[in-house]
Structure 1
Amino acid sequence: MPTSSMKVVVGAVLLLIGSVLILGTGLQQLPLPAIAGSIAALLLAAGSVLLGTSEGGQPV
């Protein structure tokens, strides 16, 4: 089981990559392909789960 600090780092990296994919293409006014949008959404979801479960206790 990964440590909580490792979960925070990996979760933050996943959130950053997903955000860059979505916001980067939006700011450049380029159409985001469906597969890239799906991957970005999954990265955001995985990063949120990792950050939410990084501390002890029951996640909200």
Structure 2
Amino acid sequence: MNATTQNSSSLSETLKERRAHLTALLKIVDTNIGKSTATQKLTITAIKAEMGLIEQKLKIRK
């Protein structure tokens, strides 16, 4: 994000868009067919952690 100030509605919209993007990425990476590699597991864990952080930020903004 750039250093300009954003109002809370645009920041909330940015967080919602980020959450939607991460959800789409999770669907791509989280394939239940066959074995998951260690990289896939780490990626899935990182995406879920980021989504949790976004959820916390959105709850604060409400």
Fold-level similarity (TM above 0.5): yes
Corresponding residue SS for 1:18: helix
Letter in 1 for 2:43: I
The answer to whether structure 1 residue 50 and structure 2 residue 58 are counterparts is no
Residue of structure 1 in register with 2:25 after alignment: 17
Q: Among all aligned residue pairs of Structure 1 and Structure 2, give the percentage whose two residues are the same amino acid.
A: 11
**Structure 1 stretch 33-42 or stretch 48-57: which is displaced more?**
48-57
Unaligned ranges ≥5, structure 1: none
Runs of 4+ in 1 over 3 A off after TM superposition: none
Q: Which has the larger radius of gyration?
A: 2
Unaligned ranges ≥5, structure 2: none
Equivalences, count: 53
TM-score by length of 1: 0.65
TM-score by length of 2: 0.64
